[in-house]
Amino acid sequence: MTLLKTKPAMKSQFSEEKTKPFRLVKYFTFSSLVVIFLGTITLSVLNTHWARTMQRKKSEDYAIVVVENLNHQIFTQFAIPILLEFGEIQLRKKEQFERMDKVVKNALHSFKVNMVNIYDFKHITSYSFDKTRIGNQGSGGAGYQNAISGKLSSKLVQQGNFFQILLGFPPQSRLMTFAPLRAERPLSPISGPVLGVVEIVQDLSEDYKEIFRFQVRVIVTCSLVMSALFLVLLVVVKRGENIFEKRTQERLELKEQLSQAERLSSLGEMAAVISHEIRNPLGIIRSSAELLKKKMARLDPDNAIPDIIVEESNRLNNIITDFFNFAKPRDLKLSPCRIETIIEKNILFLETQINAQGYLIRKRIPADLPEITADPDMLYQAFLNLLLNAVQSMPGGGDVTVEVNSNKEHIIITFDDNGEGIPENNLKKIWDPFFTTKEKGTGLGLGIVTNIIEAHGGTLQIQNRVDKGVRVTVQLPVKPNRGI
């Protein structure tokens, strides 16, 4: 259905006025949300990087503790006893190697260490958890060189593809710490000379994977929170937009009504002046034609010119009456009345004229309608015009249905016909004064009906029905407005 009182120009203006303010609001709202989301993700990445850095620092500190303990155990429980017993350290000998292995494992019993390698001054691996590496030369790299010069250093080695390493979840992460093995001086905080190099390897794979899982949880949580916030903002913005849309529509409708009222007022004043000036000479013309008709009846009974003059004068007088009614409606004479009685009079008046032409007026009127205060004569005129419009929209005959309903505050009357409906290109024009599709119409009938209904505090709507025809809906208050 199409509500005919909505103007396309007003729709375009309404759409433009509606979108302008909220375009900026939406932009800042959703832009801020995106910035907050990106900032949260960035903060999450930085926190994860900080967590990895802290984890590495913690592991390096842990390795220093392990090295100090291992250095003490090797020197006191292996180096000194072996030197006293054998005079020199030779790990190639089975007995010394087994004693070294026992000391190292006892020293690292409660520590989380995956690999221990001990190098001599010739960069040869003298001891290792991995026995296949014993005897290899030069496998310590730069870490060995730093340690042999007395410096402790660590290196993180990660294995995996580019994306695994970039995102922080490589399959394997190892922290390799190189530290000098020193001779200890009893009762002195100063360490002795370097005796060799120890390499401690810690597997950080699970720690890094746990940090990555934590990062994923943070990002997922942030995404869910941002999504919820987005939905809330969307609802708030949509609700605000609807409120603003409603207010804008009301304001534009008021502007449109004011503009139309000004146009109609000007047209009404012009029509009243013209009608007044025409009515006096028209009365003289009609009176003269009637006198001429009487004289011609004796001289030339077959002459139809006087009848034509009288008939056209009457038609012109009806047009002028429409102008007067449109320009200056009569004052309402309010009295208690019943809508069903007025409609019964309309139907009774029309049935004698239209039944023989193939028209049928059906009515659906309940028995418990409330009494209203209105001007019955003016409502009779308004309903009669609407019924005539419905009949005239079906040149070959058809049905008109009049249905009345009510609630506590209003009575609603609908007039349905099964004609062809109103063409789309005329939907914009039917509310304009003097617009008509009838050969002898003035185009003021709908305006007069609208004036009568609005004078009673009611509303008038016209819609094309979904199936066929037109529906006119009149809504009248049960009690009159105070302004009437």
* Residue 408, in any domain of the structure: yes
Of the given ranges (141-145, 214-218, 312-316, 323-327), which has the lowest mean pLDDT?
A: 323-327
Residue 198 and residue 66 share a domain = yes
479: tokens are 């009690």
Assess whether 200 and 336 both reside in one domain: no
Residues 209, 340 within the same domain? no
Strands 172-184 and 372-374: unpaired
132 burial via Cβ count (<10 Å: 0-12, 13-18, 19+): exposed
Say what percent of the chain tops pLDDT 90.
8
In a domain, 2, yes or no: no
363 or 322: which leads in pLDDT: 363
> Which of 174, 191, 216 is at the close of a domain?
216
Same domain, 209 and 353: no
Is 20 contained in some domain?
yes
Residue 224 lies in a domain: no
In a domain, 150, yes or no: yes
| Domain end marker among 175, 191, 216 | 216
Query: Out of 77-86, 185-194, 220-229, 441-450, which region has the weakest mean confidence (pLDDT)?
Result: 185-194
In tens, the pLDDT along 330-370 reads: 677 888 999 999 999 988 888 877 777 888 888 898 888 88
How many other C-beta atoms can be found within 10 angstroms of the C-beta atom of residue 210? Answer: 13
In this prediction, residue 452 has a pLDDT band, given cuts at 50, 70 and 90, of: confident
pLDDT tens, residue by residue, 179-189 = 998 887 664 45
**Cα 388-394-400 angle, rounded to 5 deg:** 60
Distance CA 300, CA 44 (A): 110
Together in a domain, 18 and 155? yes
Per-residue pLDDT tens digits for 86-141: 888 888 888 888 898 999 988 888 888 889 999 988 888 989 988 888 888 888 88
User: Across the chain, what does the average pLDDT equal?
Assistant: 79
pLDDT at 318 over 80: no
Q: Is 80 exceeded by the pLDDT of residue 286?
A: no
Dist. CA 119–CA 87, nearest whole Å: 20
pTM: 0.47
Question: In terms of residue numbers, what domain contains 444?
Answer: 331-484
pLDDT computed for residue 178 by the predictor: 92
**Contact status, residue 380 vs residue 342, Cβ threshold 8 Å:** yes
Q: Check whether residue 56 and residue 200 sit in a common domain.
A: yes
| Mean pLDDT confidence for 69-79 | 88
- Does residue 253 belong to any structural domain of this protein? no
Final residue before a domain boundary, out of 162, 196, 216: 216
**CB-CB neighbours of 475 under 10 Å:** 19
The number of domains in the chain is 2
66: domain CATH number?
3.30.450.20
285 assigned to some structural domain: no
Whichever domain contains 343, its CATH number is 3.30.565.10
Residue 90 within any structural domain of the chain: yes
